[in-house]
Amino acid sequence: MTAALHAPQRVLIIRLSAIGDVVMASGLIPALREISPQSCIAWLVEPAAAPLLRHNPRVDEVIVLPRDEWQALWRARRPVALLRSVLSFRRALRARRFDVAIDAQGLFKSGLCAWWSGAARRVSLIGREGSQWLMTERVMPKPDPLKPIATEYRSLARHLGATGAYRMDLAVGDAPRAAAALALTAAGVRGPYAVLCPYTTRPQKHWFDERWAALAQRLAAEGVTPVLLGGPSDAVLAPGIAVHAEGLINLVGRLKLDDTVAVIAGSSLLVGVDTGLTHMGSALNVPTVALFGSTRPYLDARVPRTAVLYAALHCSPCRRHPTCDGRYDCMRAFEVDTVLRAARSVLQLPA
């Protein structure tokens, strides 16, 4: 194992996207605090996921990659302005004088940012697309048959010298908490509520609208208000569930990301598929039921109040290459009663 960090140091974590991976990589924050409590920790992230980090008091600085600006300049065919912006960002990064850059994404774009930082020690997780050649160290996680959540980031934390339990670190800001309370009240939510997170990037990871609607109705009958969550791009899909579930509160696309975190933090239960919002439930220690099929990011969330349902069919996990002709048998295995039993199980566990 490479020597642990020395205290104090200036450390840059690079995990630019996606939302679920930023949530799982957030465990690097307490891991680094354990190793070097007085170090200055910064995180470089793309705009979409930045709200997940801005409210965390254990992060000294959140640096946002100006990706949107660069893309706009590229589309406008302004290469000189683009180059100037890139060089300006690189200078600003180097001016912070980082000692260590931790590339927790392992792609060329994240590796390039680590190199731009000027840090003498540059540690990459796996390293792909040639990014490994920009690093001074490379971490190659060993397969873990227990498949705990954030397996790769756990390996990275151990490589850096962490010995304590890996725990995700998602903070809820005061302003988002107030905004979430206002949104829930305006929608008519009174008392305990459950959040349903049915949407993600690939259809083979989805459960079925009619089962979500049936689950929502069963929860409502038990005195728990079902609340549907998702991003702006999911808003067109939400009526497919909401129209069949009386009493379902549809907040899909109506909340900012950090407000969504606050809504999840205040919920009594979360049920979701393989999406960043589901991982937030585990990070926030909310009773969570995760439905995995074509993907299996983890089998053990390492928090007792998360139950992972996974049907290990001969074809699963198929990831991006389903072979079931659109039946999605792995997700069809989850009946509403099965999900409800799992929900009751995690609800009975102490906080």
Cis geometry, peptide bond prior to residue 186 (ω within 30 degrees of 0): no
Q: Report, as an integer, the average pLDDT of 165-187.
A: 97
- List Cβ<8 Å contacts ≥24 apart for 281-290: 281/195, 281/197, 281/306, 282/149, 282/168, 282/306, 283/23, 283/24, 283/26, 283/168, 283/169, 283/170, 284/170, 284/172, 285/351, 287/343, 287/346, 287/347, 287/349, 288/346, 289/339, 289/342, 289/343, 289/346
Predicted structure pTM score? 0.94
Do residues 181 and 329 share a domain? yes
- Helix 79-95 vs helix 67-75: crossing angle, to nearest 10: 160
CATH number at residue 144: 3.40.50.2000
pLDDT for res 3? 65
pLDDT for res 148? 95
User: Where in the sequence is the domain holding 116, given as residue range(s)?
Assistant: 10-160
Residue 28 lies in a domain: yes
Residue 260 lies in a domain: yes
Residue 135 lies in a domain: yes
Residue 312 lies in a domain: yes
- The count of C-alpha atoms lying within 13 angstroms of the C-alpha of 68, restricted to the half-sphere facing its C-beta, is 6
Q: What is the pLDDT of residues 200-242, one digit of tens each?
A: 988 899 999 999 999 999 999 999 999 999 999 999 999 999 9
Residue 105 lies in a domain: yes
Assign 307 to helix, strand or coil. strand
DSSP 214: H
As a whole-number percent, the residues of the chain with pLDDT over 90 amount to 87
- The count of C-alpha atoms lying within 13 angstroms of the C-alpha of 13, restricted to the half-sphere facing its C-beta, is 31
The H-or-E segment that residue 260 falls in is helix 257-265
pLDDT for res 351? 66
Average pLDDT of the chain to the nearest whole number: 94
Do residues 205 and 96 share a domain? no
Q: Report, as an integer, the average pLDDT of 94-121.
A: 97
Assign 53 to helix, strand or coil. coil
Is the CB of residue 13 less than 8 Å from the CB of residue 49?
no
Q: Which amino acid is at 207?
A: W
Do residues 27 and 134 share a domain? yes
Do residues 71 and 128 share a domain? yes
Is the CB of residue 36 less than 8 Å from the CB of residue 17?
no
Residue 167 lies in a domain: no
Do residues 218 and 325 share a domain? yes
pLDDT for res 215? 97
d(CA 172, CA 265): 8
Do residues 252 and 299 share a domain? yes
For the beta carbon of residue 137, count every other beta carbon within 10 angstroms.
16
pLDDT for res 2? 58
Do residues 136 and 206 share a domain? no
Q: What is the pLDDT of residues 5-47, one digit of tens each?
A: 767 799 999 999 999 999 999 999 999 999 999 999 999 999 9
d(CA 350, CA 238): 32
Q: How far is CA 160 from CA 8, 31, 53, 148, in A?
A: 14, 9, 21, 19
Q: For residue 69, what are the contacts with CB-CB under 8 A and spacing of at least 6?
A: 85
Do residues 35 and 139 share a domain? yes
pLDDT band at 255 (very low <50, low <70, confident <90, very high): very high
Q: What is the pLDDT of residues 139-169, one digit of tens each?
A: 999 888 889 999 999 999 999 999 999 999 9
Do residues 153 and 14 share a domain? yes
pLDDT reading at 259 higher than 90: yes
Do residues 196 and 321 share a domain? yes
Residue 213 lies in a domain: yes
Residue 5 lies in a domain: no
pLDDT for res 152? 96
The tally of domains found in the chain comes to 2
Do residues 204 and 337 share a domain? yes
Q: What would you report as the CA-atom Rg of the chain, rounded to the nearest whole angstrom?
A: 21
Give the residue from 160, 194, 220 where a domain finishes: 160
Residue 225: name the closest of 267, 170, 175, 176 by CA: 267
Q: CA 327, 277, 191: angle at the middle one, nearest 5?
A: 110
Give the residue from 160, 192, 227 where a domain finishes: 160
For the beta carbon of residue 76, count every other beta carbon within 10 angstroms.
10
Exposed/middle/buried for 325, CB within 10 Å: 0-12, 13-18, 19+?
A: exposed
Assign 201 to helix, strand or coil. coil
Give the residue from 136, 160, 184 where a domain finishes: 160
d(CA 257, CA 32): 25
Do residues 110 and 192 share a domain? no
